[in-house]
Amino acid sequence: MTGNNNTYYKSSMYENRGENTAQEIIIALAIAVISLLLAGVIISHFSGSLSSGSYYGSGNSSGNGGYSNNDGSSGGGYVGDGTEDTEDYDDTDYDDADDGENTYDDDSESSDDSESDEAYEPYTDNWSMNISDCLSVDDYYQRDSADGSFSFAYPKYVFNDADINEEENYYDYYYEDDNGNRTIEMKFYSEDDPGDAVQNAKELFYSISGEPSEVLYQVEPKDQVGADGMARGIVAGTYDDEGTCVYIVAANDGQKDYIMELYYPDSAPEYDYDDVNYIIDCVYRYCSFAGGTYKPRSHELFMRDDMGEKK
């Protein structure tokens, strides 16, 4: 019995050892499988990071920073929440910016085009009407009509706006106050009017002679054209009861009428040596169709009633 018991004990011991060994193998295999799965996840995540690039930032919770590809090139160079499409950014744009070049050529060109479409007339943006600042022949801006048929000049420091129509050869300069009243205005324009120059000029003169409320000066067209092939008339006087005067030159060359209209403040129209009268004198002498035979003169010569130099 004793031997049999020993045999049973030994056999049961070996059986228990076998069961323990099997359990250990199963646990080891489970651990190995779990380890392999974890390793696969880690490798997959690491591979994804390598393919998409690395993100570096300021380390705060907002995630602001710049995006950099693994090859060292910029993937956008933006600062934001990471939702921007990096394909919209071109590295060459930033390289050009480092060289001092404009990286937004398309935008700048469209801006230049819009500015060029707006006609700008020099010296028509004055904050105030500075008649006393126009007492030199250099204080006048000279220009030609669009078709080159006439030329003229206007004072630089008087007007705050202008209406220009190059196609119609129409040039209107004025100073307008806050209430929309024009306190001074000068117009230069031409109109088609073919025919006999003298006859046309006389008809034109009669039409403008009614413009002043009181005529103080006038020159009727002569019976023949001048050396420039034009016939012309002049009329000047008071325009209204508010101290505005008018000075008009109207000429014709057998093809067109050429007209200069000046409306200006003059509280003493009988006195010919106010500052505004010097402006009228210069504008008349600069105008190509006005018929003046003298060059623009200095204010000193004007005050001495010295006609100055012939053209």
pLDDT computed for residue 242 by the predictor:
85
pLDDT computed for residue 120 by the predictor:
79
In sequence order, the 6+-apart residues with CB closer than 8 A to the CB of 174 are 159, 160, 161, 162, 163, 182, 184, 185, 186
Q: 25: pLDDT confidence band, cut at 50, 70 and 90?
A: low
Given a contact cutoff of 8 angstroms between Cβ atoms, the answer to whether 212 and 205 are in contact is no
How remote is the C-alpha of 97 from its chain's centroid? 23
Q: 47: pLDDT confidence band, cut at 50, 70 and 90?
A: very low
Q: Report how far apart the first and last C-alpha atoms of the chain are (Å, whole number).
A: 157
pLDDT digits (tens, 9 = 90+) for 179-214: 999 999 999 999 999 999 999 999 999 999 999 999
| Distance separating alpha carbons of residues 219 and 208, to the nearest angstrom | 12
pLDDT digits (tens, 9 = 90+) for 154-172: 999 999 999 999 999 999 9
pLDDT computed for residue 43 by the predictor:
55
Given a contact cutoff of 8 angstroms between Cβ atoms, the answer to whether 276 and 264 are in contact is yes
> Percent of the chain having pLDDT more than 70?
64
Distances 107 to 88, 90, 104 between C-alpha atoms, Å: 16, 16, 6
pLDDT at 65 over 80: no
pLDDT digits (tens, 9 = 90+) for 262-291: 999 999 999 999 999 999 999 999 999 999
| Distance separating alpha carbons of residues 147 and 118, to the nearest angstrom | 19
Computed over every residue of the chain, the mean pLDDT equals 76
Q: 79: pLDDT confidence band, cut at 50, 70 and 90?
A: very low
Given a contact cutoff of 8 angstroms between Cβ atoms, the answer to whether 164 and 174 are in contact is no
| Distance separating alpha carbons of residues 144 and 158, to the nearest angstrom | 19
| Cβ neighbourhood burial of 210 (10 Å; 0-12, 13-18, 19+) | exposed
pLDDT higher for 161 or 110?
A: 161
Q: What is the mean pLDDT of residues 42-69?
A: 39
Q: 41: pLDDT confidence band, cut at 50, 70 and 90?
A: low
In sequence order, the 6+-apart residues with CB closer than 8 A to the CB of 30 are none
pLDDT digits (tens, 9 = 90+) for 209-238: 999 999 999 999 999 999 999 999 999 999
